[in-house]
Amino acid sequence: MRHARRLVVRRVTRLAAVGGLLCGGLMVTQAVATEPAATAPPPASTARTVAGPAPDLVARLGDDRTAGSWIDSAGRPVVAVTDDEAAAEVEAAGARAEQVRYSMADLDSATERLRSAPRVTGTSWAVAPASNEVVVRADSTVSAADWSRLTRTAEQIGASVRMERTEGTFTTRLDGGRPVFSASGRCSVGFDVTDGQGDFMLTAGHCGPVGSVWFTDTGGAGQIGRTITSEFPGADFSLVQYAEGQQDTASDVVAVGEGRGVRITSAADPAVGQRVFRSGSTTGLREGEVTGLDATVNYPEGTVTGLIETTVCAEPGDSGGPLFSEGVALGVTSGGNGDCASGGTTFFQPVTEALDALGVRLAGLPDDAGADPSEGGTAPSDTASQQAVPPGDARPGAVERMNAPGTVTTLLERLTDPRHVGPGLLVVAGSLVALAATRHIRTEQDRHRYRQQYSRNWG
């Protein structure tokens, strides 16, 4: 009876050891196979892929000879220029030139005049390069007297300013990613970021001041973290440090609803005319077009400048949610007017400015992403400018199934995670030790039985 029990124990131990050996081997081989090559990190930016050579041309020619750039419906970069010589240089670089009346210096002067005028809550303005003007919008809360005063200011500036009335109210979208809750209300997660030592959540600054504590539900359960930096008004971004035990929450995937996520591979500035996508905890995944850059919005809480203006809709609770396209992070949701039934204008804090100001980078990106190539950092491919994506063909990015940020959905995905190379080697080593031990024990037991039998027969 004792011998039968020992035999069962040995067999179970051997089977467990063999299973551990196979499991550990799978973890190591698959993790190594899926580890990205060290010589081919994700691109620091795909801005050139979208806008082509236009940004470089605008910078080189200067504000007196250009008036911004955009991409047309075919995906070709267009540069607004003020003279024939600049037009020839643009065409020679592979972009399309369009001669306009006002230079960027003229348009910037117009926006400065608007900023210096008495502040009117419920108004916004942004440069529209395709129409070569500054578009001023006033929502339904702006009184007739304020509208008349703004109109007089615009008339004094000249024909470079166009006035528009718009429906709804310009508000922050407080009340993504995933929903998160604090005493201030409900917001959405933007992007997970890191400083190389800790993990953080990037969201909108108006979502809550420094010290705000964030939870996974309205009942105060599941603490996520605490806001440690917040900029609003002026800018609109904040940094939430994950609470102890939440270190594995950070992910390079943003949720887009229905258990799906889009993997973020880089960060960049958008181009006017670009098709973009936004995710929020209230309205899910939505799309639209970039209509202006360096926009100014006069919210009831204060003025925010340097924003991205889009036609993407948003509603309360979408604040802080991510703006992206083709897997490239572009911004976090600030505010706007309208809703996703009637449409509207939504503004976003550029993610590149927030990352620079906070000294962090997107989770999953190399720590030198976006650095000057002359200093050893990675940069977009020189040929990327020849591969512009037509706006109609743009997609959110690589969509995959997900359960929650920072987690994988199946046992196989857990085993093949590149981070499991070390644990896999430990499993293999432990299994080999177990097999060797069971072999040694069996050999010793066989030797002992042989000696007993020899003593009985030949004593």
Q: Give residue-wise pLDDT tens across range 158-169.
A: 999 999 999 999
Average pLDDT over residues 29-57: 53
pLDDT at 223: 85
Residue 371, pLDDT score: 43
Residue 364, pLDDT score: 79
Least confident interval from 121-130, 160-169, 317-326, 425-434: 425-434
**pLDDT exceeds cutoff 80 at 174:** no
Mean per-residue pLDDT over the chain, rounded: 80
Place 130 in a pLDDT band, splitting at 50, 70 and 90. Answer: very high
- pLDDT of residue 339 exceeding 60, the answer is yes
The reported pLDDT for the residue numbered 400 is 76
**pLDDT at position 44:** 43
393 or 203, which is more confident? 203
Per residue in 140-163, pLDDT tens?
Answer: 999 999 999 999 999 999 999 999
pLDDT of amino acid 365: 74
Q: Please report the pLDDT score of residue 321 as a whole number.
A: 93
Closest CA to 171 of 385, 344, 378, 356: 344
Task: Determine contact, residues 399/264, Cβ cutoff 8 Å.
Answer: no
> Residues of the chain with pLDDT > 70: what percent?
67
What's this model's pTM, rounded to 2 decimal places? 0.74
325-336 average pLDDT score: 96
363 or 175: whose pLDDT is higher?
A: 363
Give the torsion sign (CA, 405, 407, 413, 418): positive
Higher pLDDT: 424 or 132? It is: 132
pLDDT of residue 246: 61
Please tell me the predicted confidence (pLDDT) of residue 395: 84
Q: Predicted confidence band at 306 (pLDDT cuts at 50, 70, 90)?
A: very high
Residue that the structure tokens 């964030």 belong to: 214
Residue numbers annotated as active site: 206, 236, 319
Query: In 139-212, where do the E strands start and end?
Result: 161-165, 171-172, 179-182, 185-188, 191-194, 199-203
Poorest-pLDDT segment among 74-88, 209-223, 299-313, 390-404:
390-404
Cα gap 28→251, rounded to integer Å: 22
Helix (H, G, I), strand (E, B) or coil at 340: coil
At a CB cut-off of 8 Å and minimum separation 6, what does 144 contact?
none
Which residues have a Cβ under 8 Å from the Cβ of 89 and sit 6 or more positions away? 57, 61
Q: What is the pLDDT of residue 399?
A: 77
pLDDT at 332: 97
What pLDDT score does 450 carry?
52
C-alpha span between 432 and 28 (Å, rounded): 15
Mean pLDDT of 347-358: 97
What is the per-residue pLDDT across 357-400, written as a single tens digit (0 to 9) for each?
Answer: 999 999 877 665 544 433 444 333 333 333 456 677 778 887 77
At residue 265, the pLDDT reads 93
Residue pair 247/237 in contact by the 8 Å Cβ criterion: no
Q: What's the rounded mean pLDDT across residues 342-365?
A: 94
Q: Is residue 15 left, alpha or beta, with left meaning phi > 0 and alpha meaning psi from -120 to 50?
A: alpha
